[in-house]
């Protein structure tokens, strides 16, 4: 019964019309004794039955693989996708009308006709896509339809697995130099000491008034006879932490025109800019599901940024939690994200270690005071912050944020 229904469903409208009229004609021919009616009825029925028989697909076991050149593409860059279809089965495959199922952002779905493949036969199809926006775009699976010549039967099937095409954001060249780190407790903004031996190297110096007694280095004191204290150097490493906040609720706009896209490009640009200047950049991107991706090289950063998607509000807390561990060693902290509430802003500001600079780009939330509140808190806490909207050129944003004032406004 079920197989009968599946047979019937494999028929097109034309096929079922043929069956219905075939049965009617055959019956009429039989009852009226009209051989011609019977013959035509039989013709319609046999034709449809034959179409179903020839069109049976037996699971359509085809291997489909895709390669993209280049594997990771820039926005707007043409990517050649090669689809290889192999027939591993022991029988020939039917002629397939195939349609590659693409993310709609990649444009029209390419359609092509695959020839009948003998056992072991292979066929290669190439097409070019070009994405207007960054992202991990879906390629495949291959939607296929098997039809017969007379259009009586039609079978639809998805063949093979889909893959992803990564389109990374294009960094924008930024010009102004990043701010130098400020030494601890000094106002000059120049580096005080440099650790030459690595992160955890310690120097020893004479005790000065006010030093923490716990820091006295007793072996050295014994050796020299003077009280000596450990001096933990804060090595001025050219280090930067880039945080991308992708909370959907904090950003404005939807989809391609969302301020998240601006933030992603800014994050990419800043990462590229800083890395070009010898910074070791750690970019933190929410990966969804409570995970945060930390990437340390530019290609990795770009891939992580390409995959960035709007996230729920809790993602900010996760991001900050991941950042806290990394920021302890100081360095430039750059927050790029949506509008912040005061509380969140305080957490962001807390990431900036004394002596290092903090920058923040907050999405302007029109009609909402929240963004401004966060901005104010950041400024008071010594973070150079500004708001942005999608139309602001990234280079301008970078240049102006460096000139931003910190401290409480009068």
Partner 1 sequence: MTRGQPTMTFLAAAAVAVVAAPVTTLLVSTRWTRVAMVAILVVAASGWALRQLRVRPGWVLIAQLVALVAGYLGAVLPSTLWYGLPTLTTARRTFDIVLGAATHLGGYSAPVPPSRELDIVLATLVGLIAVAVDAVAVSLRRPAAAGLLLLTAYLGSSSNTPTGNSAIWLVAPAGLWLLMLAHQGISAVHSWGPAFHTVRGRRREPGDSLAGLGRRLGVLAIGAAIVLGTIAPLLPTRFLAGGLGTGADESGGTPRGVSMASSADVSRDLITGSDRVAFRYRTPAGAAPVFAVHVLNRYEGGVWTNDRSRGAAEPATALEPPPLDSVITTKSTDIEVFDNDVAPPQVALPPLTVGNPFPGASWTVDDFGTVRLSGTVREYTASSLNLTIPEDFLANLSASNVRPSTAAAVFIEDTPSGADPDQPNDTLGRVLESIIDGEETPVEAARKIQAYLRSPEFSYSLTLTDEGIGGDPLLSFLRTKRGYCVQFAGAMVALADRAGMPARLVVGFLGGTREGDDYVVRGRDAHAWPEIYFDGIGWLRFEPTPGGRGGIPPAYSLTQPRTNPSTGPSASSSPRPSVSALPRGERPDADLVRPTGIAGGILPTWLTQNWPYAVGLLSLALLLCAVPLAARAVRRRRRRRAESQAARTEAEWAELISRLGDLGVHPPEGASPRQTGRFIATTGRLPQEAISHVGSAVALLERARYARPEQAEAKAGMTGAIEEHADAILSAVAARVPRSVRWRAALWPRDGLFWRRQSSGEENSQSR
Nearer to partner 1, 28 or 406 (CB): 28
Nearest to 345 by CA among 318, 368, 372, 310: 372
Restricting to residues 144-163, which ones interact with partner 1 according to CB under 8 A? Answer: 147-151
Check binding of 8 to partner 1 (CB under 8 A).
no
What is the x/- site pattern for partner 1, positions 223-262, by CB under 8 A? Answer: ----------------------------------------
Piece of the chain touching partner 1 by CB under 8 A; list 43-51, 70-78, 129-137, 286-294: 43-51
Piece of the chain touching partner 1 by CB under 8 A; list 114-122, 135-143, 229-237, 385-393: 114-122
Check binding of 115 to partner 1 (CB under 8 A).
yes
Check binding of 121 to partner 1 (CB under 8 A).
yes
- Please provide residue 97's backbone torsions phi and psi, each rounded to the nearest 5 degrees: -95, 110
Check binding of 125 to partner 1 (CB under 8 A).
yes
Restricting to residues 308-327, which ones interact with partner 1 according to CB under 8 A? Answer: none
What is the x/- site pattern for partner 1, positions 54-83, by CB under 8 A? Answer: x-----------------------------
Nearer to partner 1, 30 or 104 (CB): 30
Which one of 42, 191, 216, 406 is in contact with partner 1 (CB under 8 A)? 42
Query: Count of residues binding partner 1 (CB under 8 A)?
Result: 47
Nearer to partner 1, 83 or 316 (CB): 83
Nearer to partner 1, 142 or 298 (CB): 142
Check binding of 46 to partner 1 (CB under 8 A).
yes
Check binding of 112 to partner 1 (CB under 8 A).
yes
Restricting to residues 20-39, which ones interact with partner 1 according to CB under 8 A? Answer: 29-39
Point out which residues bind partner 1 (CB under 8 A). 14, 17-18, 29-40, 42-43, 46-47, 50-51, 54, 87, 95, 97-99, 110-118, 120-125, 147-151
């Amino acid at each position: 019964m079920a197989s009968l229904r599946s047979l019937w469903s494999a028929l097109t409208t034309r096929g079922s019309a043929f069956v219905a009229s075939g049965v009617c004609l055959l019956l009429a021919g039989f009852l009226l004794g009209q051989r011609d009616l019977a013959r035509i009825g039989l013709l319609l029925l046999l034709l449809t039955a034959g179409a179903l028989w020839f069109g049976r697909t037996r699971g359509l076991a085809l291997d489909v693989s895709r390669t993209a050149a280049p594997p990771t593409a820039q926005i707007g860059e043409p990517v050649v996708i090669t689809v290889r279809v192999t027939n591993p089965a022991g029988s020939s495959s039917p002629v397939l009308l195939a349609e590659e199922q693409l993310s709609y952002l990649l444009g029209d779905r390419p359609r092509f006709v695959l020839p009948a493949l003998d056992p072991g036969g292979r066929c290669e199809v190439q097409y070019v896509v070009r994405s207007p926006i960054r992202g991990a775009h879906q390629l495949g699976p291959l939607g296929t339809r098997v039809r017969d010549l007379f259009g009586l039967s039609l079978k639809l099937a998805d063949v093979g697995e889909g893959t992803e095409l990564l389109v990374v954001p294009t960094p924008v060249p930024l010009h102004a130099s990043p701010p130098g780190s400020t030494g601890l407790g000094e106002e000059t903004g120049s580096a005080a000491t440099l650790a030459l031996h690595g992160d955890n190297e310690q120097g020893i110096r004479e005790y000065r008034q006010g030093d923490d007694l716990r820091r006295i280095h007793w072996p050295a004191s014994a050796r020299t006879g003077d009280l000596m204290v450990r001096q933990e150097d804060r090595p001025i490493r050219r280090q930067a932490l880039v945080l991308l906040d992708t909370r959907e609720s904090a950003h404005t706009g939807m989809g391609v025109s969302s301020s998240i896209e601006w933030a992603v490009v800014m994050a990419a640009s800043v990462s590229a800019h800083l890395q070009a200047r010898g910074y070791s950049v750690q970019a933190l991107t929410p990966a969804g599901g409570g995970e945060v991706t930390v990437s340390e090289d530019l290609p990795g950063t770009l891939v992580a940024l390409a995959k960035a998607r709007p996230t729920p509000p809790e993602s900010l807390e996760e991001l900050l939690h991941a950042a806290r561990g990394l920021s302890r060693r100081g360095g430039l902290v750059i927050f790029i994200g949506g509008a912040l509430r005061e509380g969140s802003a305080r957490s962001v500001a807390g990431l900036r270690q004394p002596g290092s600079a903090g920058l923040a780009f907050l999405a302007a939330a029109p009609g909402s005071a929240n963004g401004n509140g966060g901005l104010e808190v950041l400024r008071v806490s010594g973070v150079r912050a500004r708001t942005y909207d999608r139309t602001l050129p990234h280079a301008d944003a970078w240049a102006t944020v460096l000139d931003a004032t910190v401290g409480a406004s009068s």
